Amino acid sequence: MTGGSGLSAPGFPEAAVRERARSGTAAAFPPLSGYGHTLLGAAPGAPEAGAPYGTPGELLETGRLVPPVFMPRRLEKLIELGREPQHSDVDLTTDIGGFQAPLPLYVSAFGSTRAAGDGLGTAVGRQAGSLGLPLVIGENVLPVSGYGRPGTASDGGGNAAGLLRRIRAYADELPDGVGGIAVQQSTEDADAEVWNLVHSDPHVQPLLASGRLAFELKVGQGAKPGLGGMTLVDAAEADRLADRYRVQDTLGEKGDVLRCSAPGTVTEEILRQQIRFMRSNYPRVRVWVKLFPGRDVDRAAAVAWQAGADAVTVDGAEGGSGWAPHAFLDGVGLPLGECLRRIAAGPHPLLVSGRMWEGGRVARSLALGARAAGLGRAALLAADEDPDRGLIRLTACLELELRLLVSALGKYAAAELAPEDLWPQPAAERRPDPTTREPS
């Protein structure tokens, strides 16, 4: 490739440099044309061509599940059942942050991305409800779509109705005794009062009364650790949001503007007190905390559990996103496997998300200490493939794989998976109790 003068630089990322020279700040991001209908996310171990880094050796990517030859549990099961144990005998029911689920699976949040609009978010919710899988609803569904002038089509009331419609689509399909909804809110979006709105909605009361409502404090996300919510808005929308968000950094020629927020949970004491405040304000609601894969994720998880979180979710660097800069997708944050290696078991469940779509990765996550895995992009794609049955079929496939894998390891409950089931063995660097350690 050459420019006007015929200058070239073999061996140097010339094309990328020329792209930046043409597009400026827009080149820090994936193509603007894909915004709203492309689900982004890092591909650990297989970075995009030209991407400078990957995460080779990542446990969840390259690790293998390795059954032992000798399986005393299988003999026990044979005695218990009086017949040869099968994969159908594996117990996959799981307590996920206070909710009962038929599988160690939940549907994780997709926020304001347009990809989740157009009925797709509702289609996912409906199918998750019929399966009894817990569902997380994204934190910026309400505030980004925005409160404008009450009474107009694009106002908060309308979008609040959208949020509540998602909840109802799920709840209408939900069998008794299983599942539950976790509604996210991040500190920077606290003025949207999403939780208060949900908490006081009459239609939500049955979920509340049956202990199937959780609020998830979003500290950050895997695709852009250290950054807050990030969306692309046009100039008119930017004006409307200027009250509450820093809207800056015009991208590309058409004047699209980057709407950014900064994560607000920035000290241990803030995290601890936010959790206590949630527990005090909403005593009948479960408290979940979603962490980004930061270098002190082990300590953050410990603080959250200690403050009373019913579940801690860790979104690995390979987690999906509607919008994130290349530099973050390619090279920021710990891969999920490393997070799992660092986090010591807590008193309540550890939930994980990031590239979950098939049984092997889910089983490896459980072996590394996770209680359940969240489907994000996979759930959206499945519902896009078939709005009525796509997620149901994807889940059935994943369930069969999980049953086969767990039984092959000579175990009969998802919760029995352990690091011994993995090769290579995760290095034993877990800190005994991060809460007793001074922060570095």
Partner 1 sequence: MSQLPPSPRKHLDSPRTRAVLRIQQQIVSAARDHLRALGFVELLPPVIGPATDPGGRGAKQVDVDYYGHRYKLMTSAIMYKQAALLSFDKIFCVAPNVRLEPPETCSTQRHLAEFHQFDVEIAGAGAQDAMGVAEDLVRAAVRSVTEQLPADLDVLGRDPDAFADLLAQPFDRLTHATAVAELAVLGHEQNPDAEIDWEGEAMLSRKATRPFFVTSYPKGSRGFYDREDPEVPGTLRNFDLLAAEGFGELISGAEREFDHARIVTRMRETGENPGKYQHFLEVAREGIPASAGFGIGIERLTRYVCGLDAVWEATAFPKIPGVVSL
List residues near partner 1 by CB under 8 A: 147-151, 156, 185, 187-191, 193, 195-197, 199-200, 202, 205, 208, 217, 243-244, 264-267, 269-270, 272-283, 308
CB 155 → partner 1: shortest distance, Å? 9
Q: Which residue, 106 or 147, is less far from partner 1 as judged by CB?
A: 147
What is the spatial distance between Cα 316 and Cα 293, in angstroms, rounded to a whole number? Answer: 5
CB 189 → partner 1: shortest distance, Å? 7
Q: Which residues, other chains included, contact 61 with Cβ-Cβ below 8 Å and sequence gap of 6+?
A: 44, 45, 55, 335, 337
Q: Which residue, 217 or 301, is less far from partner 1 as judged by CB?
A: 217
Q: Which residue has the tokens 């827009």?
A: 26
CB 333 → partner 1: shortest distance, Å? 23
CB 396 → partner 1: shortest distance, Å? 38
Q: Which residue, 139 or 330, is less far from partner 1 as judged by CB?
A: 139
- The bridge status of strand 311-315 relative to strand 286-291 is parallel
Amino acid identity at 5:
S
Q: Which residues, other chains included, contact 212 with Cβ-Cβ below 8 Å and sequence gap of 6+?
A: 99, 174, 179, 180, 181
Q: Which residues, other chains included, contact 289 with Cβ-Cβ below 8 Å and sequence gap of 6+?
A: 216, 217, 219, 271, 275, 304, 309, 311, 312, 313
User: What are 137's two structure tokens?
Assistant: 């609803």
Q: Which residue, 194 or 367, is less far from partner 1 as judged by CB?
A: 194
Q: Which residue, 139 or 315, is less far from partner 1 as judged by CB?
A: 139
Q: Which residue, 87 or 244, is less far from partner 1 as judged by CB?
A: 244
Alpha helices of 373-412 — where are they, by DSSP H? 377-385, 390-408
User: What are 374's two structure tokens?
Assistant: 């969240």
Q: Which residue, 71 or 190, is less far from partner 1 as judged by CB?
A: 190
Q: Which residue, 272 or 326, is less far from partner 1 as judged by CB?
A: 272
Q: Which residue, 265 or 353, is less far from partner 1 as judged by CB?
A: 265
Encode burial over 179-211: b for 16+ CB neighbours within 10 A, e otherwise. bbbbbbbbbbbbebbbbebbbebeebeebbeee
Q: Which residue, 83 or 149, is less far from partner 1 as judged by CB?
A: 149
CB 48 → partner 1: shortest distance, Å? 35
CB 112 → partner 1: shortest distance, Å? 17
Q: Is 304 left (phi over 0), alpha (psi -120 to 50) or beta?
A: alpha
Q: Which residue, 32 or 197, is less far from partner 1 as judged by CB?
A: 197
Instruction: Work out the widest C-alpha separation in the chain, in whole angstroms.
Output: 81
CB 183 → partner 1: shortest distance, Å? 12
Is the four-CA dihedral 350, 268, 181, 34 of positive or negative sign?
Answer: negative
Q: By the 8 A CB rule, do 146 and 192 touch?
A: no
The 3-state DSSP composition of the chain as helix, strand, coil percent (nearest 5) reads 40, 15, 45
User: What are 373's two structure tokens?
Assistant: 């895995």
User: What are 333's two structure tokens?
Assistant: 């944050």
CB 219 → partner 1: shortest distance, Å? 11
Beta bridge partners of 315: 353
Q: Which residue has the tokens 């996920």?
A: 96
Q: Which residue, 190 or 415, is less far from partner 1 as judged by CB?
A: 190
CB 319 → partner 1: shortest distance, Å? 23
What is the spatial distance between Cα 157 and Cα 193, in angstroms, rounded to a whole number? Answer: 12
What is the spatial distance between Cα 289 and Cα 304, in angstroms, rounded to a whole number? Answer: 7
